[in-house]
Structure 1
Amino acid sequence: MKKRHLLIAGLACMTILGACNNDDAGSSGQAVVEVDGHEISDAEFVDMLKERYGEAILQELVQRHLISQAADSVEIPQEEIDEELETFKSQIGVETDDEMLDALSNQFGITVENKEEFVNEYILPPLVLEKLAVEGVEITDEEKQAYFDENRDSLIEVEASHILVEDEETAEEVLDRLEAGDDFAELASEYSVDPSAEANNGDLGFFGKGDMVPEFEEAAFNMEIDEVSEPVESTYGYHIILVTDRKDSYEELEEKIHDTLMRERSRTQEEVLRDLLAQADINVLDDQFEGLFDLPDAPPVEDTPEIDGEDASDEAEDQAEDADENAEEEDES
């Protein structure tokens, strides 16, 4: 699922909160800066932060508390937590835990004692929301099978590697070497102008329809396993494609189908947060933020006919009566 968007946003909010929460700030009146003999005090500084960003920060704090409470009823596998942590490190361009902690302090102004504290404060909340979003959603085997039958062609995935070169002459040279028995991965590392080839030796993994440029997709999805293509021209150059595997059976695609149906039926994170707020007892004590957590009234429910229900039959009777009246008027005229 797509997620994590709360993480960086949360860090930004908490950076501002750090300024508001400074232990030395408040009613002391101590100056933060002096400009041409004029002092700007801590109180002025914090008041402006509160005025401009107070609502967002207060909402963030309340939401974090509610999510923390809800986490007690949610079980998150450690491997999901580890994966999320590695994704975050990649996003901010670090590799080790120490580098991450330094980046948190230097880039976001966030100080945490260790990785565990960071995980609890920032990694877990989005994961908890994700689990709550699918709570109560059940997908039956019959539903998955029906989805497979209706969407089989679009679900198929192919695993392939490729060697991307700039011109057809080089592509033919690569094909000659492949026919001579040279290793595909080694040739990808040597010839391919795809920036990722140095790291993956041309291995693209599994992909579905719509993930690649049309020319590449057309060739790859019409090849047999272990088949090598002729040069395929696209806007990127010339591709030599090697198909290494294929997923086209229900058993192979069941997990993908399950995830797709879960996404379609789950609540959004916004809906989860709204429900948590609706269930919470929130008493705003600062007049500045009065009404901040008031939820709008639900829109009136429109009268809609129920299938095989009383409303539907009543409406049908009304329509029949109207039709009879119109017919009588036409006869009289």
Structure 2
Amino acid sequence: MKKKLLLTITLAAGVFALSACNNGDVIVESKAGDITKEEFYEVLKDRYGEATLQELVYKKVLSDKYEVTDEEIEEYLVNFLKSYYGEDSYETVLEQLKANTDQYNSMIQSAELGLLQEKAAMDGMEVSEEELKQQYNYETKTVTARHILVNDEETAQEVLDKLNNGEKFEDLAKEYSQDTASAENGGDLGVLDPANLVSEFKAAAFELKEGEISEPIETEYGFHIIQATKVEQKEDVQSYEDMKKELIEKVKQSKLTNDVVQGALDKLVDNADIKINDSDFKDLFKQE
């Protein structure tokens, strides 16, 4: 049920500039022959040129319209590392990165580009009051749940009927659930993290009262029967109105997909009236 989305464009082979060069400028001399800047440029262009030129153009058009601070970049990089290495390990990884200046600078540049892309994609994105209230629900509740995952709606209804007739949830999870990781524990998922749940599952689970069992919920993984085994309100939470700005940001973040980001980039490039003078790349930004 976890879903990850990587929005940053990774540097193809470190950061380098494809600059104009003069024919005949020799950068390596040897008894076997010389290597000119032109030869060097052509090899780099052939191997990495398209990805690198595309990234440079994206960075240029994004930076022309949006700004990011050093603090935002650092936070973005930290969150990125947390998502991959976890809360317990990300600091060690970050220190290792900082020890390698070239690698760290490359990561910072990738983080800056990723953040610029997000800002462009979220610019003008609409958010409904219903979505904000749903997000507030995620922020202010702690839900512990278990589920039974099956392949089709008919089987899901069969499981639900058996639950309604008094059969035990844990027994049915072991018998029916296709989620083998949780099935042996009676379908137990522990405390749910909204950030790691697909939207349909998340919305259903956080609407349940303690002990309540859901109707079959369809996601990309199949059909789920969910039971909230424990529901608690978090302490010291802010009011809906006080959290509204934060909620808007989080709802927009949840809507980011590769298609949404690419659409924003395509629009910026189109408006920037890009002209590519190298014939090898003339169709680089041509849209279908």
TM-score by length of 2: 0.49
State the structure with more CA Rg.
Answer: 1
More helix by share: 1
Tell me which of the two structures has the higher relative contact order, counting C-alpha pairs closer than 8 angstroms and 6 or more residues apart.
2
TM-score by length of 1: 0.44
